[in-house]
A and B are shown apart, each in its own frame.
Chain A
Amino acid sequence: MKPHRIIALLPLVAILSACNAVVLHPSGDVAVQQRDLLLYATELMAIVIVPVAFLTILFAWHYRHTNTKARYEPEWHHSTKLEVVIWGVPVIIIIFLGMATWTTAHTLDPYRQITRIAPDQLVPPGTKPLQIEVVALDWKWLFIYPEQGIATVNDVAAPVNQPIEFRLTSSRVQNALSIPALAGQVYAMPGMETELHAVINEPGDYRGYSSRFSGAGFSKMHFTFHGKSAADFDKWVADAKATGTTLDSATYLQLAVPSEGEPVHRYANVDPELYKTILDRCVGQSPNMCLSTMRANDLKKGNGLCRPNVASN
Chain B
Amino acid sequence: MSPDTPPLDPIFGRLTLDAIPYQEPILVVTFAVVALAGIFAVGALTYFRLWGYLWREWITSVDHKRIGIMYIVLAIIMLVRGFADAIMMRLQQAIAFNGSEGYLPAHHYDQIFTAHGVIMIFFVATPLIVGVMNFVIPLQIGARDVSFPYLNNLGFWLTAVAAILVNVSLFVGEFSQGGWVGEPPLTGAEASPGVGVDYYLWALQISGLGTIIGGINLLATIIKMRAPGLTFMKLPIFCWTSLCVNALIVLSFPFLTIAVTLLTLDRLFGTHFFTADFGGNPMAYVNLVWIWGHPEVYILILPALGVYSEVAAVFSGKRLFGYTSMVYATVSITVIGFVVWLHHFFTMGSGASVNGFFGLMTALIAIPTGVKVYNWLFTMYRGRVRFEVPMMWTISFMLTFLLGGLTGVLCSIPAADFQLHNSLFLVGHFHNVAIGAIVFAMMAAIDYWFPKAFGFRLEPFWGKLSVWFWTVGFFVAFLPIYVAGLSGVTRRTRVFDDPSEQNLQILFVIAAIGAFIALLGVVFFLVQLFVSIRNREALRDTTGDPWNARTLEWSTSSPPPEYNFAFTPVVHDVDAWADMKARGYSRPSEGFKPIHMPRNTATGIVASVLLLIFSFAVIWYMWLVAGVSFALLLLVLIGHTFNYNRSFHIPADVVARTESERTRLLAQQG
User: Which chain A residue shows the least CB distance to B475?
Assistant: A8
Q: List, in ascending order, chain A residues with CB within 8 A of B485's CB.
A: 23
Q: How far is the CB of A238 from chain B (nearest CB, A)?
A: 26
User: Which chain B residue shows the least CB distance to A68?
Assistant: B384
Cβ-defined contact, B359 with A105, below 8 A: yes
Q: List, in ascending order, chain A residues with CB within 8 A of B107's CB.
A: 216
A97 in contact (CB, < 8 A): yes
Q: List, in ascending order, chain B residues with CB within 8 A of A57's CB.
A: 399
B405 in contact (CB, < 8 A): yes
Residues from 371 to 411 in B contacting A, C-beta threshold 8 Å: 371, 373-375, 377-387, 395, 398-399, 402, 405-406, 409-410
A178 in contact (CB, < 8 A): yes
Q: How far is the CB of A244 from chain B (nearest CB, A)?
A: 29
Residues from 328 to 372 in B contacting A, C-beta threshold 8 Å: 345, 347-349, 351-353, 355-356, 359-360, 363-364, 366-367, 370-371
Cβ-defined contact, A11 with B510, below 8 A: yes
Q: List, in ascending order, chain B residues with CB within 8 A of A163's CB.
A: none
Residues from 171 to 199 in B contacting A, C-beta threshold 8 Å: 177-179, 183, 185-186, 190-191
User: Which chain A residue shows the least CB distance to B406?
Assistant: A45
* C-alpha spacing A97/B360, complex, angstroms: 9
Cβ-defined contact, B363 with A219, below 8 A: no
Q: A23-B487, A53-B402 are in contact. Are A213 and B492 (CB under 8 A)?
A: yes
Q: A5-B475, A77-B318, A111-B351 are in contact. Are A19 and B415 (CB under 8 A)?
A: no
Cβ-defined contact, A74 with B317, below 8 A: yes
B542 in contact (CB, < 8 A): no
Cβ-defined contact, B422 with A105, below 8 A: no
Interface range on chain B: under 10, 10 to 19, 20 to 34, or 35 or more?
A: 35 or more
Q: List, in ascending order, chain A residues with CB within 8 A of B366's CB.
A: 90, 94
A55 in contact (CB, < 8 A): yes
Of the residues B319, B347, B352, B402, contact of A185 by C-beta under 8 Å: B347
Of the residues B377, B387, B488, contact of A207 by C-beta under 8 Å: B488
A12 in contact (CB, < 8 A): yes
User: Which chain B residue shows the least CB distance to A14?
Assistant: B506
* C-alpha spacing A55/B399, complex, angstroms: 10
| Interface 0/1 of A1-39, CB less than 8 Å to B | 000110111011001101111111000000101110110
B149 in contact (CB, < 8 A): no
Q: A106-B352, A174-B186 are in contact. Are A15 and B506 (CB under 8 A)?
A: yes
Q: How far is the CB of B117 from chain A (nearest CB, A)?
A: 11
Cβ-defined contact, A104 with B422, below 8 A: no
User: Which chain A residue shows the least CB distance to B110?
Assistant: A216
From B106, B316, B355, B383, name the one whose CB has the most chain A CB atoms within 10 angstroms: B383
Cβ-defined contact, A173 with B488, below 8 A: no
Q: List, in ascending order, chain A residues with CB within 8 A of B495's CB.
A: 219-220
* C-alpha spacing A72/B178, complex, angstroms: 55
Of the residues A110, A174, A215, A217, contact of B282 by C-beta under 8 Å: A174
B158 in contact (CB, < 8 A): no
Q: A52-B374, A75-B319, A97-B409 are in contact. Are A59 and B419 (CB under 8 A)?
A: no
B483 in contact (CB, < 8 A): yes
| Interface 0/1 of A90-106, CB less than 8 Å to B | 11001001101110111
B497 in contact (CB, < 8 A): yes
Q: List, in ascending order, chain A residues with CB within 8 A of B603's CB.
A: none
Cβ-defined contact, A12 with B480, below 8 A: yes
* C-alpha spacing A102/B415, complex, angstroms: 9
A109 in contact (CB, < 8 A): yes
B493 in contact (CB, < 8 A): yes
Of the residues A22, A34, A214, contact of B488 by C-beta under 8 Å: A22
Cβ-defined contact, B413 with A104, below 8 A: yes
Cβ-defined contact, B413 with A100, below 8 A: yes
Cβ-defined contact, B483 with A15, below 8 A: yes
Q: How far is the CB of B655 from chain A (nearest CB, A)?
A: 34
Cβ-defined contact, A65 with B494, below 8 A: no
Cβ-defined contact, A23 with B486, below 8 A: yes
A227 in contact (CB, < 8 A): no
User: Which chain B residue shows the least CB distance to A286?
Assistant: B277
Cβ-defined contact, A86 with B375, below 8 A: yes
Q: List, in ascending order, chain A residues with CB within 8 A of B359's CB.
A: 101-102, 105
* C-alpha spacing A89/B317, complex, angstroms: 27
B421 in contact (CB, < 8 A): yes
Q: List, in ascending order, chain B residues with CB within 8 A of A77's CB.
A: 318-323, 379
Cβ-defined contact, B475 with A38, below 8 A: no
Q: How far is the CB of B186 from chain A (nearest CB, A)?
A: 4
Residues from 173 to 229 in A contacting B, C-beta threshold 8 Å: 173-174, 176, 178, 180-181, 183-187, 189-192, 194-195, 205, 207, 209-220, 222
Q: How far is the CB of B470 from chain A (nearest CB, A)?
A: 12
Cβ-defined contact, B421 with A191, below 8 A: no
Q: A45-B409, A219-B493 are in contact. Are A213 and B352 (CB under 8 A)?
A: no
Interface range on chain A: under 10, 10 to 19, 20 to 34, or 35 or more?
A: 35 or more
Cβ-defined contact, B419 with A23, below 8 A: yes
B325 in contact (CB, < 8 A): yes
* C-alpha spacing A199/B382, complex, angstroms: 56
Residues from 565 to 607 in B contacting A, C-beta threshold 8 Å: none
A127 in contact (CB, < 8 A): no
* C-alpha spacing A105/B506, complex, angstroms: 35
* C-alpha spacing A282/B493, complex, angstroms: 31
Q: List, in ascending order, chain A residues with CB within 8 A of B488's CB.
A: 21-23, 178, 180-181, 207, 209
Q: How far is the CB of B573 from chain A (nearest CB, A)?
A: 11
Q: How far is the CB of A20 from chain B (nearest CB, A)?
A: 8
Q: List, in ascending order, chain B residues with CB within 8 A of A48's CB.
A: 370
Cβ-defined contact, A187 with B349, below 8 A: yes
* C-alpha spacing A143/B349, complex, angstroms: 19
* C-alpha spacing A22/B504, complex, angstroms: 12
A83 in contact (CB, < 8 A): yes
A256 in contact (CB, < 8 A): no
| Interface 0/1 of B275-289, CB less than 8 Å to A | 011110011000000
Residues from 47 to 79 in A contacting B, C-beta threshold 8 Å: 48-49, 52-53, 55-57, 59-60, 63-65, 70-79
Q: List, in ascending order, chain A residues with CB within 8 A of B413's CB.
A: 37-38, 41, 97, 100-101, 104
Q: List, in ascending order, chain A residues with CB within 8 A of B501's CB.
A: 207
Q: How far is the CB of A27 from chain B (nearest CB, A)?
A: 12
Of the residues B190, B422, B479, contact of A12 by C-beta under 8 Å: B479
Of the residues B379, B415, B491, B494, contact of A37 by C-beta under 8 Å: B415
* C-alpha spacing A254/B71, complex, angstroms: 52
Cβ-defined contact, A101 with B418, below 8 A: no
A234 in contact (CB, < 8 A): no
Cβ-defined contact, B381 with A63, below 8 A: yes
Cβ-defined contact, A4 with B406, below 8 A: no
Cβ-defined contact, B415 with A34, below 8 A: yes
Q: Can you give 6 A-B contacts (C-beta < 8 A)?
A: A9-B479, A16-B486, A76-B319, A77-B323, A174-B186, A294-B279
Contacts A19-B483, A41-B416, A65-B385 supplied; 17 other A-B pairs, CB < 8 Å: A19-B503, A20-B487, A21-B486, A21-B488, A23-B488, A52-B373, A72-B384, A73-B318, A78-B324, A87-B371, A97-B409, A101-B413, A108-B418, A178-B488, A184-B421, A189-B349, A218-B493
